[in-house]
Amino acid sequence: MTDRIRVGVIGTGAMGTSHARMLARWVPGAQVVSVHDFDAGSAQRVAAELDAEPAGTAAELIEAVDAVVIAAPDPTHEELALACIAADRPVLCEKPLALDAEGAARVVAAEASQGRALVQVGFMRRYDPAFVALRQGVLGGQVGRPLVVHCVHRNAAAHPSATSDGIVSNSMIHELDCIPWLLGDAIAAITVTSPRVEGIRDPQVALLETVRGALVTVEVFVNAGYGYDVRCEVVGAAGTLRLTPPYGLAARAHGGDQVQVAADFVARFADAYRIELASWVDGLRRGEVDGPTAHDGYRAAVVAACGVESLHTGARVQVPQL
């Protein structure tokens, strides 16, 4: 593939529309040629905006394009990723790779039997300039051995499909992928709890223990109300490194001093998505998939399954090392 990659996007909700626009406007090596959504009107609107064709079914779309972005809801990911692999189409699948670890393992196995890497998972924090700088500082030894990490992950309002288990397997999965990448270390055990015992168990707090002995706190609060807020601080033996609020605007007015908070993930991680998509397309033009792999998606799903077990039982759950 050396010409422009002809991409199809499945799911034209918040994430799919953002990906389709980013690809069409910011990734010169790509052309969005087809979009599909369960809601035909939504697909038609995005297709008209981007000069693409709406596809009647996902299968039609997969057949008509060089590569696929899956941004439909979580329960569709495994089946759509397997269909892309069967058709030998590279696919950028939004997280999570599947609803559970068994589903993610089936995707890994299908890709292996196809004989070439086709799957990238949408763990976009690995492309966020601030997270990349944080990782370089940590792995470069700037603050010595990492001892403690504090992560905060808040949404203004939950997606209508949010569930207690989904807070781990859909939201916290970002941290479950990011922490091993950030520290160059694996997660050895997880404990998840919530101050709410009835209804949706939100917020949740997890304690992750790494193989090398670092302790990581993760607060995920999907109904935080005030905005989308992702924070991370690494406490090392010789100092700390923390993300500062990016894309901020400070206002002093009406007797107050305020820093604006991003409304949602599209605003906060705009650069990350852009770089993720550009790097995915560059890789495809070289005939490679060089981002987070299906195996990374599987590894995160295994930790998430342990986290869900802990949320239900209250127990500290040991994570199998893959």
Ligand X SMILES: NC(=O)c1ccc[n+]([C@@H]2O[C@H](COP(=O)([O-])OP(=O)(O)OC[C@H]3O[C@@H](n4cnc5c(N)ncnc54)[C@H](O)[C@@H]3O)[C@@H](O)[C@H]2O)c1
Name the site residues for ligand X (rule: CB under 6 A). Answer: 10-16, 36-39, 42, 58, 71-74, 76, 94-95, 122, 124, 159, 170, 265, 269
d(CA 241, CA 129): 14
Q: Where do the DSSP E strands lie in the chain?
A: 5-10, 30-36, 53-54, 67-70, 91-93, 119-121, 146-154, 187-193, 204-210, 215-221, 229-236, 239-242, 250-253, 256-259, 317-318
Place of tokens 């792995």: 139
Smallest distance, Å, CB 36 to ligand X? Answer: 6
Give the neighbor-by-neighbor strand order of the sheet with 67-70.
Answer: 53-54, 30-36, 5-10, 67-70, 91-93, 119-121
Nearer Cβ to ligand X, position 20 or 192? Answer: 20
d(CA 81, CA 92): 9
Nearer Cβ to ligand X, position 13 or 203? Answer: 13
Nearer Cβ to ligand X, position 55 or 110? Answer: 55
Nearer Cβ to ligand X, position 183 or 272? Answer: 272
Q: Which of 157, 69, 173, 68 is nearest to 125 (CA)?
A: 173
Smallest distance, Å, CB 126 to ligand X? Answer: 11
* Position with the least CB separation from ligand X: 13
Nearer Cβ to ligand X, position 37 or 185? Answer: 37
